[in-house]
Amino acid sequence: MNKLKKSMTWIAPILIVIIGIVILFNENYQEVTEAPSEGWSREIQLGTTPNASEPSLSTTEDGDYSVSFITNDGAKQLIFDPTFEIVSDESFDIKVDKFTEIYLNGDVFLYSDYYAMYNGNTGEKITDIQDFYPLKDQVFYRQDNRIYQLHTDTMESEEIINVENEKTEVLIQQTEDQTHIATNNIDQSGNHLTFYKVKDGSVSEMGTTDFTINAIEEIKDIQFALNGSEYALLVQTFQKQSMAGKIQNYYYYDESNFNEALELGRVEFMDPASSMELKEISDVEMNYTPQGGELLFKAFGSTKSMFQESAQFNVYEAKLTEGTEPDVRRLSNTPKSSLEPAWLTKDTVIWVDRASDGENNILASSSRPEIIDKAATMTMPVFLQALGKTMGMFSTGLFAIVVSMIWFIWPLLFLCVVMFTNSKAMDNDRPWVFYAGAFIYLGAATIFNDFMFGTNGMASAPDYLVFPGSSYIYLIGFAILSFAILQAGTSIRKWSPAVELSYFIAIHVICITMFFGPYLL
């Protein structure tokens, strides 16, 4: 027992450090693995790609999922069962660059570069193009002012529409059973949209609409969706706020039909993980149902998955109903920038996470219970992510030792005063020297507690560390613990009051550093 008490003087600080690191790692692991939202899974990795474009997605006749993407050597098609277990893995050798896009559905493999579209199975050039529009099971392309549909069963092209001029913007969207095209012509009077429906190789005009925007704003993106004779329109604009080039984005939305005038209204998308507005919304997919518009997009919002940074691009879903605030739900929660989200099914989304080494991750998440359970298991990347965040917070937490100098400088000055004015008290190891020094230290810690426990510094600390009066409770609690450890050691080994006071302060500072230091910066 005496040996244990004697060892307590150096075992206790080590135990405090270990306990602090374990608690911090557990907190970080919970934050890193936090589900994007209730009833939605964490991410599952499907593959890697050097390209940042949206993967080609389709469903096989057997109900499996086809996910095709670009690799360094060409293209790859992975077939997954509904639980994301790989059924087949096939690679294709084609020339790729940053402009390469692919379409892979069944036996049909097409790809494009900046100038042309090719048959991926034979390498044969099909035609020159200006734009390539690969959908889930259809392919469109543009040549000058003409939009063509490529019938993938015969590899024959059919002209669908002829647009007004080369500056006409063309938007093509495919839902589960419908394909729609919108053209946008811009002149001094505003934007003029014409909507078309494509079915069985024929095209019919659905209607037109016009809108204008503020003169100081510029259009960044337009998204549309149709449901019968009704449609929804989302317009994103931007405005430079200053000569320095700061850009402010605005979003306008309306639901209408072709017999009514369009009245775009400003909408804001609030971050469900914070009280802030989502920023830099882009990569939008849109659908329209009788209940209103449905959006899938990436945006810059709050996350706790990173060290020091509190926001990142993640994937979100929003449901819009005319006259109400958008109902936003987060569908991804990763520390890397997410982009190009797409619905694989109505309850599963796939996106690309941009990596610093050029190998971007293709990820999926879902609301299906079996996927939620599968994604909840610990993986090495998740473990390393939590460990890295823990070590980063631990290293910056050591700054608490510097901050605590404003506390322990006073008892050190007190010892100096006693040493020069009452040396007998030091020579005779008077207990009051220790108690007076400890009282001065705790008094200084109480007076200057804002240096360590300020509101800004503790904003990210967990609830069990931050509550009314918590700073005083922990100061006193750690002081009692430090005194108990000191007493256990000094009951076997005799120390001078100066050494006792130094040890007491050291243990107290270690406790504060381990539990509060990581949240100080």
The pLDDT confidence band at residue 512, using thresholds 50, 70 and 90, is very high
Q: How many DSSP H helices and E strands does the chain contain? A: 10, 28
Q: What is the reported pLDDT for 478?
A: 96
Digit-coded pLDDT (tens) for 32-82? 999 999 999 999 999 999 988 999 999 988 899 999 999 998 999 999 999
Q: What is the reported pLDDT for 388?
A: 94
- Residue by residue, DSSP assigns 285-340 as EEEEETTEEEEEEEEEEE-SSSSS--EEEEEEEEEE-TTS--EEEE----SSPEEE
Q: Which helix (H) or strand (E) holds 208?
A: strand 202-211
Is the confidence at residue 285, as pLDDT, over 60? yes
Helix (H, G, I), strand (E, B) or coil at 234: strand
Is the confidence at residue 7, as pLDDT, over 90? no
Q: What is the reported pLDDT for 245?
A: 66
The arithmetic mean of pLDDT across residues 510-515, rounded, is: 95
Is the confidence at residue 1, as pLDDT, over 70? no
The pLDDT confidence band at residue 22, using thresholds 50, 70 and 90, is very high
Write the single-letter amino acid at 194: T
Digit-coded pLDDT (tens) for 484-505? 998 887 776 778 888 899 999 9
Q: Model-level pTM?
A: 0.89
Is the confidence at residue 6, as pLDDT, over 70? no
Tally Cβ neighbours within 10 Å of residue 269.
21
Q: Taking all residues of the chain, what is their mean pLDDT, rounded to a whole number?
A: 90
Write the single-letter amino acid at 294: E
Lowest mean pLDDT among 119-123, 159-163, 289-293: 289-293
Digit-coded pLDDT (tens) for 188-197? 888 999 999 9
